[in-house]
Amino acid sequence: MTTSRARHRRIGYAAVSLAGLLVVTGCATQSTGGSAAGAGEPRAVQAPGPGWAERTLGKLTLEQKVGQLFVADVWGKSAHEPHASNREKYGVDTASEVVRRYQVGGVIYFNHGGTDNIDEPGQVARLSNGLQRAALSSGAHVPLIVSVDQEGGRVTRLGDPATEHPSAMALGAGRDAPVARAAAAVSSSELRAIGINQDFAPDADVNSNPANPVIGSRSFSSDPALASEFVAAQVEGYQNSGPATETVSSSAKHFPGHGDAATDSHTGLPRIDRTEQEWREIDLPPFQAAIEAGADSIMTAHITVPSLDPSGNPATLSKPIITGLLREELGYDGVVVTDSLQMQGVRELHPDSEIPVLALEAGVDQMLMPPDLELAMNSVLDAVRSGRITEERIDRSVLRILKLKEKRGIVAAPLVDERAVPRKVGTPENLATVQAATDRAPTLLRDDAKLLPLRDPGKVLVTGWNSPDYPGYPAEPVDALADALGPFATPLPTGAEPDAAAVEQAVAAATESDLVVVLTNGLANDAGQRDLVHRLLATGKPVVAVSVQEPYDPGHADVPTWLATYDWRSVSMTSLAKVLLGEHAPQGKLPVNIPAGDDPETIRYPFGHGLTW
């Protein structure tokens, strides 16, 4: 670590002394005891009233203002649970100590694939309350923005027993924006019930590149108009489906548009070679729609777009893009938040000490997950003290953040009622709403063999892609689909990148079956999966192939019966089973073009295609 003990003392001093002053003077009207929220409905910290954000800003020290600019990733399922990673990164043992020491403006949760914050809804509510109490007892006395990436599909942090959601592209295939709005409303209410008040969703990228390694089915569509309609619907669902204290802030991402990337910005800096006019026609519309719908925040992309800024800087650090386009041309005055500052895309050209300062100079407000929080905070403090950045510039960003907290009811009700979680999360009504939305998604691309719907199918083998090690969530669609189909279906997962032995085992099982359903995910880059599909076809048994993530697999294998679900979660496998069994006719329409193999100019299945019966 580059962090020094001297820097620990430098950042921590004001927090300790001011927190003590607040305890003595009794400024907090909210109890900071451990049982307040569990014993009944939590009381408000204070009635914010007109001008709360401005008054609060005037009371903060420079160090506290800088703290408000950052969103920290903290480890552990409890606010008071010691975790070695907190000690390694922050010099303290617990998540609550991180909040008190640095007086950050927000925290972000990940599940077991990351910082291990999420187990089940009641536990998350307790964690949220514990961290809010830590913030309220610190010197700044300002509640936290508690964030999460809960897009649906593969970007899901909170799963069962909460309501699971399909991917954005699955909703786009369903072609019903009010249904997408209702799904967002379900997610919003459930997240807020467990103390999460900001969701980094919806994804406003237009997935125009079928080979995009990081967006894909996270996007609603490759069509700007369709993507715009659904982005606006989901922003409204997240933010306007109930009182402010019962909904979450949305964050449209990743501006100015990650949909044409050929590189994953987690591992490199993507270059987008669109002309400015192409960007305006393709990538811009969903962000305009999000702004018009009132999105509380916009997340930046770690991509370089030479036509918009020839400097080569990633958009996150680009003043022409963030200030020139987003702030001035589009008139956006909400919170602009970076994508994670731990990603290589933003670290490719500049040291970690320079990145937060450049982001502020570009026009960003909120900085997410710096790799070294103390270094980042001290870099900003040094920039102010040296005159490179004015304190007035810091004030503009902090005021936007405080206004978001006030607007979203975080100030009025920072704590949640832990006892109410079971009756608000994963309810039958919520499950039914999202299942109905997901049922619209399965898209029948081809059924030359006239296999569907299945009539007396006999013994069915369900095989193919199954990845228990999928980051952050066990992906077991083979098992989920077999369960949904019933006792005549036998699961035999081959995993991702099946080897020769796994393929031989599946082929042997297929010869003993009457019909095979094979799930695929990423055929273009997986020779083992392609071999599996070809070998299953060679058995002569009827084969139904299903692309369970990005819908582009049918362009890489000539199977007479193809479907796409855009997602592999249980909710999507349930919808697929309904279609296979004829309980529900396929309704999905392709929200993208599917090219023939790697040739983007030859379209095998066009946008809008989808068969039914």
| Residues that are catalytic | 266, 339
Which amino acid belongs to residue 543?
V
Q: How far apart are CA 71 and CA 368, in angstroms?
A: 5
DSSP 410: T
DSSP 143: P
Q: How far apart are CA 556 and CA 573, in angstroms?
A: 22
Beta strands (DSSP E) in 389-453 are 443-447
Q: How far apart are CA 136 and CA 133, in angstroms?
A: 5
Q: What angle do CA 65, 240, 153 make, to 5 degrees?
A: 85
Q: What are all long-range contacts of 315-321, with beta carbons under 8 Å and residues at least 24 apart? A: 315/255, 315/256, 316/346, 316/359, 316/362, 316/364, 317/346, 317/350, 317/355, 317/358, 317/359, 317/361, 317/362, 318/362, 319/361, 319/362, 319/363, 321/255, 321/256, 321/362
Phi and psi at residue 419, to the nearest 5°: -70, -25
CB 326 within 8 A of CB 363: yes
Sequence-separated (6 or more) residues with CB below 8 Å from residue 251: 198, 199, 200, 201, 295, 296, 297, 298, 299, 337
Using a 10 angstrom Cβ sphere, with 0-12 exposed, 13-18 middle and 19 or more buried, the burial of residue 516 is buried
> How many of the other CB atoms lie within 10 Å of CB of 567?
31
Residue 356 preceded by cis peptide, ω within 30:
no
The structure tokens 């094979």 sit at: 518
Q: How far apart are CA 124 and CA 146, in angstroms?
A: 11
Q: How far apart are CA 464 and CA 478, in angstroms?
A: 7
Q: Which residues of 5-35 are buried (b: 16+ CB within 10 A; e: fewer)?
A: eebbeebbebbeebbeebeeeeeeebeeeee
Beta strands (DSSP E) in 75-130 are 106-109
Q: How far apart are CA 336 and CA 360, in angstroms?
A: 10
DSSP 193: H
Among 241, 91, 88, smallest CA distance to 178 is for 241
Give SS3 for 467. strand
